[in-house]
């Protein structure tokens, strides 16, 4: 059907314009072209209608036709059809024309076929500055920043003058290139000399580069100096702060952007939600979400996916599900985001259901999907399901990476089959990583296997000597086995090697304010009330059978003092504070910078029963949902 209308067109061209060399209009040449869409010949494109082609001379008509086709291939990224057009161009009058070759080069570059693009470039009899710029931006946009920079130097050596298009691509390349060196700053100087440093495009690239270098003040200076700003320049600055966990700054800029009359796009929203998510600013994130709804901005996957993640990471798994359900179009990342959410919250069954739903919806799971469903299985102790998905993954042709192996070691470890976990590690086709040994070490802590724990710890110390976590776990393994001499040895070794335990802290967000606590916190204005509240709770949970587990105190002091220290762990203080300052019956959210300690875990379980509240604790590893005396992690984490 397509070729019929094409050949009609070509005959019209031929009849009307006799002076054109015959082979160019031979139907056998034109006909094999597969057109992306029939409409394109009739629709206005490049300002040309098919019948306009009849006016003027034949060369112009054909050039327009090739341009239309190449544009269509570029936009729809159909490089195979582009190659067919290329074959025609190569036989035509235009094969030596700079502009036509630039168009071809651009088609290949935009489609990501950089080798083809390079061939066109190398074979061009003549080049202009657009030729260079097109290939440079191709490299820059497709993850080949070094090639872009090398080509830029050659461009200058060959005497071509870069313009603002060239420079914005080159600066982007410099921001992405490793190692960084100082080529970014040198380029900034170059832009300044050319007078392009204040241009919106070049300037946005420059300020993006500075944020990626971590030089936020320099980024701000570039932003302030821009000759004009648009939504992109705002978004670049917001995204820069968001990436560096500068959530407050990102939010402040977002509000300034609104005040100055710019309309945020899904770029702005996804940066903001991402920042709120990684730093736990739920209330602020909700505010921005509400603003987005009111402004009528459609919920697209890019922003929606971060929103799923934000609600999940803030502890509101049900809100995460709501967003997922409301998304008009879901991509693989949307599914992965919700799968990950279920995994982190220990909702294993839900994750398994969702994974099956995903396959029914004909979305192909990728390695992240499998990682999430495996993590969910391991966090809920679904041993058989975990094995099933591990096998399925391999059958689907996805090669398991180290992190997939971690989940299996974790799964076997949780089930208590430590020997099998060790055998699994020994038989893996990859070299075990620190994370794999850490999973075994953790299993040894939970099942109190001192010998294997020490063995796993040795491997961890060798592979990741700077992580204080494993030292603390090994200490706890020895301490809970009553082996205080060995425990003391671990402490001594920690001291000698200079590994520092990260000071634990916990925080709660109440009415837009974040309250942070460290152990034995004595600075809070409500400290006396908090202390009284904890004493009251402590008495009640003791009645329910709570016995302080002093093996979790790393300070080597006498038993009584250990018990006292334990009662002022940061998560207990934060919990007492939250009980004082939130309405009865509401869910309490606590966040913690390291893994929740075993004693606090047992205490919080009982507190959830005593106060009849749901308590959700986010630690570095996962979420714990405490309710009516139990925890969603099943006491394994």
Partner DNA sequence: ATAGGGTTAG
**Which residues ranging from 421 to 460 are in contact with DNA (CB under 7 A)?**
435
The strand order across the sheet containing 588-592 reads 513-518, 505-510, 588-592, 615-618, 623-627, 630-631
88 part of the interface to DNA, by CB under 7 A: no
The residue among 32 and 56 lying less far from DNA, judged by its C-beta, is 56
463 part of the interface to DNA, by CB under 7 A: no
Q: Which helix (H) or strand (E) holds 615?
A: strand 615-618
632 part of the interface to DNA, by CB under 7 A: no
Where in 432-530 does DSSP place strands (E)? Answer: 505-510, 513-518
CB of 296 to DNA, least distance (A): 16
CB of 623 to DNA, least distance (A): 11
Can you tell me which of 103, 247, 550, 567 binds DNA, judged by CB under 7 A? Answer: 103
Binding mask 607-626 for DNA (x = CB under 7 A): --------------------
Among the listed ranges 227-235, 452-460, 532-540, 609-617, the one in contact with DNA (CB under 7 A) is 227-235
Can you tell me which of 72, 197, 309, 319 binds DNA, judged by CB under 7 A? Answer: 309
129 part of the interface to DNA, by CB under 7 A: yes
The residue among 203 and 548 lying less far from DNA, judged by its C-beta, is 203
Is beta strand 630-631 parallel, antiparallel or unpaired with respect to 623-627?
Answer: antiparallel
99 part of the interface to DNA, by CB under 7 A: yes
133 part of the interface to DNA, by CB under 7 A: yes
Query: DSSP label at 448?
Result: T
Can you tell me which of 213, 267, 291, 455 binds DNA, judged by CB under 7 A? Answer: 267
Query: Rounded to whole angstroms, how far apart are CA atoms 127 and 48?
Result: 27
Query: Rounded to whole angstroms, how far apart are CA atoms 147 and 96?
Result: 25
Among the listed ranges 33-41, 84-92, 273-281, 507-515, the one in contact with DNA (CB under 7 A) is 273-281
The residue among 197 and 599 lying less far from DNA, judged by its C-beta, is 197
The residue among 93 and 232 lying less far from DNA, judged by its C-beta, is 232
The residue among 14 and 302 lying less far from DNA, judged by its C-beta, is 302
C-alpha distance across the termini of the chain, in Å: 62
CB of 31 to DNA, least distance (A): 26
For residue 359, how far is the Cα from the chain centroid? 23
CB of 160 to DNA, least distance (A): 10
The residue count for binding DNA (CB under 7 A) is: 74
The residue among 166 and 570 lying less far from DNA, judged by its C-beta, is 166
476 part of the interface to DNA, by CB under 7 A: no
306 part of the interface to DNA, by CB under 7 A: yes
Binding mask 378-407 for DNA (x = CB under 7 A): -------------------------x--x-
In SS3 terms, 138-153 reads as HHHHCCCHHHHHHHHH
Among the listed ranges 102-110, 455-463, 546-554, 588-596, the one in contact with DNA (CB under 7 A) is 102-110
CB of 497 to DNA, least distance (A): 23
CB of 2 to DNA, least distance (A): 24
340 part of the interface to DNA, by CB under 7 A: yes
In the region spanning residues 283 to 302, those forming contacts with DNA, defined by CB under 7 A, are 300-302
Q: Are 517 and 576 in contact (CB under 8 A)?
A: no
Query: Nearest 5°: CA angle at 69, between 65 and 70?
Result: 115
Residue 85: count of CB within 10 angstroms of its CB = 22
In the region spanning residues 60 to 79, those forming contacts with DNA, defined by CB under 7 A, are 67
Residue 297: count of CB within 10 angstroms of its CB = 16
Q: Are 107 and 80 in contact (CB under 8 A)?
A: no
Query: Rounded to whole angstroms, how far apart are CA atoms 431 and 428?
Result: 7
CB of 302 to DNA, least distance (A): 3
In the region spanning residues 185 to 214, those forming contacts with DNA, defined by CB under 7 A, are 199-205, 208
CB of 619 to DNA, least distance (A): 12
The residue among 25 and 403 lying less far from DNA, judged by its C-beta, is 403
Among the listed ranges 149-157, 267-275, 290-298, 505-513, the one in contact with DNA (CB under 7 A) is 267-275
In the region spanning residues 310 to 339, those forming contacts with DNA, defined by CB under 7 A, are 331-334, 336-337
Query: Rounded to whole angstroms, how far apart are CA atoms 360 and 370?
Result: 15
Residue 521: count of CB within 10 angstroms of its CB = 18
In the region spanning residues 141 to 170, those forming contacts with DNA, defined by CB under 7 A, are 141, 163-166, 168-169
CB of 105 to DNA, least distance (A): 9
Q: Are 559 and 550 in contact (CB under 8 A)?
A: yes
DSSP3 helix / strand / coil % (the chain, rounded to 5): 65, 5, 30
The Cα-based distances of 274 to 230, 377, 591 in angstroms read 22, 26, 17
359 part of the interface to DNA, by CB under 7 A: no
372 part of the interface to DNA, by CB under 7 A: yes
The Cα-based distances of 100 to 70, 92, 607 in angstroms read 10, 11, 74
> Cis before residue 179, ω within 30 degrees of 0?
yes
368 part of the interface to DNA, by CB under 7 A: yes
The Cα-based distances of 85 to 30, 60, 74, 89, 260 in angstroms read 9, 16, 12, 6, 47
CB of 212 to DNA, least distance (A): 8
The residue among 377 and 518 lying less far from DNA, judged by its C-beta, is 377
DSSP string, 395-406: HTTPPP-HHHHH
In SS3 terms, 164-187 reads as HHHHHHHHHHHHHCCCCCCHHHHH
Among the listed ranges 34-42, 266-274, 516-524, 570-578, the one in contact with DNA (CB under 7 A) is 266-274
Rg of the Cα atoms in the chain: 31
Q: Which residues contact 10 (CB under 8 A, 6 or more apart)?
A: 25, 27, 30, 31
């Amino acid at each position: 059907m397509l070729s019929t209308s094409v050949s009609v067109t070509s005959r019209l061209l031929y009849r009307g314009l006799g002076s054109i060399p015959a082979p160019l209009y031979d139907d056998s040449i034109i006909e094999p072209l597969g057109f992306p869409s029939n409409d394109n010949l009739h629709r206005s494109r490049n300002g040309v209608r098919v019948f306009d082609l009849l006016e003027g001379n034949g060369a112009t008509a054909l050039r327009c036709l090739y341009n239309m086709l190449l544009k269509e291939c570029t936009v729809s990224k159909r490089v195979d059809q582009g190659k067919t057009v290329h074959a025609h161009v190569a036989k035509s009058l235009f094969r030596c024309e700079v502009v036509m070759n630039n168009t071809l080069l651009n088609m290949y570059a935009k489609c990501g076929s950089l080798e083809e693009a390079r061939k066109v470039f190398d074979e061009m009899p003549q080049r202009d500055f657009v030729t260079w710029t097109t290939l440079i931006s191709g490299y820059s946009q497709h993850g080949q920043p070094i090639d872009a920079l090398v080509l830029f130097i050659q461009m200058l050596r060959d005497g071509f003058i870069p313009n603002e298009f060239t420079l914005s691509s080159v600066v982007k390349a410099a921001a992405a290139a490793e190692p960084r060196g100082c080529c970014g700053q040198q380029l900034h100087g170059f832009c300044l000399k050319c007078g392009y440093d204040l241009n919106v495009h070049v300037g946005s690239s420059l300020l993006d580069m500075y944020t990626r270098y971590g030089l936020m003040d320099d980024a701000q200076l570039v932003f302030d100096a821009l000759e004009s700003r648009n939504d992109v320049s705002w978004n670049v600055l917001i995204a820069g702060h968001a990436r560096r966990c500068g959530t407050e700054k990102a939010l402040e800029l977002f509000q300034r952007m609104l005040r100055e009359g710019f309309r945020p796009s899904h770029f702005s929203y996804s940066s903001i939600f991402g920042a709120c998510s990684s730093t736990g600013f739920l209330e602020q994130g909700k505010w921005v979400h509400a603003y987005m709804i009111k402004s009528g901005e459609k919920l697209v996957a890019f922003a929606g996916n971060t929103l799923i993640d934000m609600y999940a990471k803030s502890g509101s798994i049900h809100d995460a599900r709501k967003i997922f359900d409301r998304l008009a179009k879901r991509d693989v990342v949307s599914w992965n985001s919700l799968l990950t959410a279920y995994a982190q919250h220990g909702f294993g069954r839900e994750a398994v259901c969702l994974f099956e739903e995903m396959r029914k919806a004909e979305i192909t799971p990728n390695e992240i999907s499998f990682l999430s469903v495996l993590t969910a299985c391991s966090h809920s102790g679904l041993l058989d399901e975990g094995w099933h998905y591990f096998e399925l993954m391999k059958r689907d042709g996805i090669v398991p990476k180290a992190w997939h192996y971690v989940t299996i070691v974790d799964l076997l470890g949780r089930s208590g089959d430590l020997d099998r976990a060790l055998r699994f590690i020994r038989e893996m086709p990859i070299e075990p990583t620190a994370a794999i040994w850490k999973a075994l070490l953790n299993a040894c802590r939970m099942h109190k296997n001192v010998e294997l724990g020490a063995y796993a710890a040795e491997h961890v110390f060798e592979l990741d000597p700077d992580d204080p976590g494993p030292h603390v776990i090994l200490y706890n393994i020895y301490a809970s086995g009553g082996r205080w001499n060995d425990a003391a040895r671990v402490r001594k070794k920690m001291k000698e090697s200079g590994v520092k335990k990260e000071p634990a802290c916990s925080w709660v967000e109440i009415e837009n304010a974040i309250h942070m606590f460290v152990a034995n916190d004595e600075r809070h204005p409500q400290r006396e009330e908090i202390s009284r509240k904890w004493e009251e709770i402590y008495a009640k949970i003791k009645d329910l059978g709570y016995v302080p587990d002093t093996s979790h105190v790393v300070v080597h002091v006498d038993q009584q003092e250990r018990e006292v220290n334990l009662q002022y762990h940061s998560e207990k203080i934060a919990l007492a504070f939250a009980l004082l300052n939130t309405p009865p019956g509401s869910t309490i959210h606590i966040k913690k910078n390291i893994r929740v300690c075993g004693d606090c875990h047992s205490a919080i379980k009982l507190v959830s029963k005593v106060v009849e509240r749901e308590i959700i604790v986010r630690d570095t590893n996962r979420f714990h949902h405490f309710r009516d005396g139990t925890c969603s992690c099943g006491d394994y984490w």
